[in-house]
């Protein structure tokens, strides 16, 4: 006894969409709006599964989609978000207007994974590849995003540092032997559901507001939550949200209220 199929398989087309099918779907949604995907194919005269219609619309036909290559900035945003959220492609897509979860997922698998590998970073954990091999253990009492990707990378003890650079909130160090090491990159999530900020350089102006422990507002009361900056109402977290007029924890300038439970921005 399995789940009932989402549609009548025998009488549905599969594979690539034709121009005519696209046109039918577009004109139907323009006339009736999105939603009711299950009944849409029949109503629109399409021999397609409702799920297929939804996917085609969301990933390809929607008018607000941004087509074309990803920018460097978008790359870094994706990496940064992935280090915090893991493979939550829809949440990541929510932060990149005009990009879809499917597009970002594909882009991650084809480009960014390789890019991180070439930087010596494990794309799954966001740890230095060297370090990840040596340090697979997760500390007790720590919920790690590791599969999901957070990590604090230990500093190599006797490497002489010749230069530093900052990437997506982490700090890369070039050692004398030419190896690059990620010092602190992605924060760990402990049982208090707080995220420690990455260590920042003076030059990391947009990320300076990370110089406090980040709390997702999940403590029992505001009293318990020590992450709120009492002197500054424009930052800090209250009632599961943080209002900030400067930059949020991802380094985005924003003017709204970030809801950490829903992982979405409420506009002021």
Look up residue 127 and give its DSSP letter.
S
Q: How far is the CB of 44 from DNA (least distance, A)?
A: 13
The contacts of residue 106 (CB under 8 Å, 6+ apart) are none
Of 6 and 161, the one with the shorter C-beta distance to DNA is: 6
Number of Cα atoms under 13 Å in the Cβ half of residue 243: 8
CB 7 within 8 A of CB 38: yes
- Site for DNA, residues 27 to 86, rule: CB under 7 A: 35-39, 48-52, 54-56, 59-60
Q: d(Cα 28, Cα 261) in Å, to the nearest integer? A: 35
Counting contacts by CB under 7 A, is residue 4 touching DNA?
yes
Which of 161, 76, 81 is CA-nearest to residue 119?
76
* x/- map, 113-152, DNA, by CB under 7 A: -x--------------------------------------
Q: How far is the CB of 14 from DNA (least distance, A)?
A: 4
* x/- map, 81-120, DNA, by CB under 7 A: ------xxxxx---------xxx-xxx-xxx--x------
Burial-class residue 253 by CB neighbours within 10 Å (0-12, 13-18, 19+): exposed
Place of tokens 């950490």: 260
Q: How far is the CB of 180 from DNA (least distance, A)?
A: 22
Of 22 and 156, the one with the shorter C-beta distance to DNA is: 22
Counting contacts by CB under 7 A, is residue 263 touching DNA?
no
CB 46 within 8 A of CB 25: yes
Chain residues in the site for DNA (CB under 7 A): 2-4, 6, 13-17, 35-39, 48-52, 54-56, 59-60, 87-91, 101-103, 105-107, 109-111, 114
């Amino acid at each position: 006894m399995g789940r009932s199929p989402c549609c009548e398989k025998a009488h549905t087309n599969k594979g690539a969409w034709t121009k005519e099918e696209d046109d039918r779907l577009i004109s139907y949604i323009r006339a009736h709006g999105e939603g009711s995907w299950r009944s849409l194919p029949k109503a629109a005269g399409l021999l397609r599964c409702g799920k297929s219609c939804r996917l085609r619309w969301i990933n390809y036909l929607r008018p607000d989609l941004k087509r074309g290559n990803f920018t460097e900035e978008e790359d870094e945003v994706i990496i940064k978000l992935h280090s915090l959220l893991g493979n939550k492609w829809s949440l990541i897509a929510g932060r990149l207007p005009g990009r879809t979860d499917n597009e970002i997922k594909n882009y991650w698998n084809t480009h960014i994974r390789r890019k991180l590998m070439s930087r010596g970073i494990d794309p799954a954990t966001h740890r230095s590849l060297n370090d990840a091999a040596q340090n697979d253990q997760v500390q007790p009492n720590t919920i790690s995003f590791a599969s999901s990707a957070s990590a604090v990378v230990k500093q190599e003890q006797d490497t002489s540092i010749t230069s530093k650079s900052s990437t997506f909130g982490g700090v890369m160090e070039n050692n004398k032997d030419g190896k690059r090491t990620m010092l602190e990159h992605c924060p760990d999530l402990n049982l208090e559901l707080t995220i420690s900020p990455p260590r920042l350089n003076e030059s990391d102006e947009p990320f300076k507001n990370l110089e406090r422990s980040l709390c997702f507002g999940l403590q029992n009361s505001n009293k318990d939550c020590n992450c709120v900056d009492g002197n500054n109402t424009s930052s800090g977290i209250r009632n599961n949200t943080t209002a900030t007029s400067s930059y949020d924890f991802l380094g985005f300038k924003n003017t709204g209220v970030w809801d950490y439970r829903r992982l979405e921005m409420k506009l002021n």
